[in-house]
Every structure is written in structure tokens, then in C-alpha cells.
Amino acid sequence: MNIYSWNVNGLRSALKKGFTDWFAATKPDILCLQEVRAEVDQIPEEVANPDGYFAYWNPCRRKKGYSGVGIYTQIEPDRVNYGFDIEEFDEEGRVLQLVFPDWVLNSIYFPNGGQGDDRLDYKLRFYDAFLENSKRWISDGKHVVTLGDYNTCHKEIDIARPKENEDVSGFLPIERAWMDKYVENGFIDSFRLLHPEERDRYSWWSNRFGARKRNVGWRIDYAFVDEGLVPNIINAEIHPDVMGSDHCPISIELEPPFAPLPIAAPAPAYEQ
């Protein structure tokens, strides 16, 4: 099962830069999109509902043309969740969650914390809400697979200019510490698992100063899985040659079936 993820930085813009041809040639089993930046009625019908796929969209409710996520899937889910049931996060259209019998897939556009202290606080609280949501699914016996733009480089190996960006959101110590906490809670960066020492592999480049041509980039797009899925990982890749956005696609290949997870025992009833 091949799952791709791509922050398209505006789907309508990406359509003018070869998105449709790439999608037709790649034929992913599942494709997660972030930063769609469009209402569903602004997307051509053949793109909004392509043949052979179930398509789900979650645009931003707070501001048109901002944020937004989507998923194309050849595998029909049992249920679709459009957020975490937390209004301040859900209104920005950052989460699509597909619930399958034994696993959950998230396409998430995590917030950028670079617009002041309030926005950094929002990003960190979003991270914590996401982690708690993931842990609840694990407790319910479902594996969790999360692809998207996490908007943080975890390690120095993940960024071309670590020293120059120590005080820049996306590489702040507090953001990287949350990534540490995420890993400590049993979630695995699939690309780094398979490519532990590989350098100069990035998924986002600034549009300034020819950064992409010089490969001065950041790895901020990830495919994380719970540790129970490690035996099922066949491959995890970054695809920098695919143009059309300031991000490139990433992918993970998983081999079903997934081993069942234990369901957490309910908490004992309180007795007075």
C-alpha cells in the first residue's frame, strides 16, 4: 500500500504546474494533501472527485483561501473525522482523519509558529491535542499513520543551515522538544528509520535566493507511524524532483495486514 503526501501550496496553482499528470502517473493508493487553499466548488470536478478514488476535503472555515487539507483514497474508510472536535483547531481546516477497521490515517497541515508568540503557543497546543488524539486511538486498538507538513525540522540533519535557523520557528528548541516527546510516546519517523544517516534530503525550500536549485532546504514533511507498524514498513521516500510547489511529495509503503494492538482496559469505576 503506497501512501503519498504533498503540501501543494495551493491546489489550483499546482494544477497549472503538472499536478494532474503527476497524480495520473503515480497512481498512489492514498494521497494526502495539505495547504489546498480552496473551497471544494473552486476545484474542477474531475479533480475534486477523480475516477477510482474516494475524495474527502476539509477547507478552512475561518478564512477562505487559507490552509485546507484533502485525501484521495482507493480504500473506503469506515468513518471520516474533520478535526479533533476542538473548535479553535478545527476551524482552520488542518485535519482529515480516515478511520479504517484496524488503523487511522491522518492528513495534517500543522500550524506555522512564526507569526508571533500567540501563534507559537497555538502551534504547540495543536501538537499536544494531536498527540492526545493519537494516543487515544492506540488505546482503542487502532494503529495510527500520520502524513503531512509538521512545520518543524526535528534534528540538525534535517535542515541545511541549522546554526543560522536556531531562532527561527520551525527549528526552535521548544518545537524540536515536542518532536522528541512525540517519538518518546512511540511514534516513528519512517524516513529516518530507513535512512538514519542520509543528509541533504529535504521536502521544503524557500522561494528566495535559488534555495531549491542549491538544495538549501528543510525536511518538515513526515510520514510517522506507531511503533507497532515498524515491521510493516517497506519503504519511505522523499521526491524532490517533483515540482509544482515549494514542497515536494513524500511517501511511505506499508504491507498489510497490520498486527492487532491490545485495547486498553477501561479505568476502574470510582467507588465512594
Q: Mind telling me the catalytic residues?
A: 149
Contacts of 159 (CB under 8 A, 6+ apart): 153, 165, 171, 202, 217, 218, 219
Q: Are 13 and 39 in contact (CB under 8 A)?
A: no
Q: In what order do the strands lie in the sheet with 69-73?
A: 54-58, 69-73, 30-34, 2-7, 250-254, 233-238
Q: Helix, strand, coil shares of the chain as percentages rounded to 5? A: 30, 25, 45
- From the list 200, 191, 198, 188, the residue with the least C-alpha distance to 162 is 200
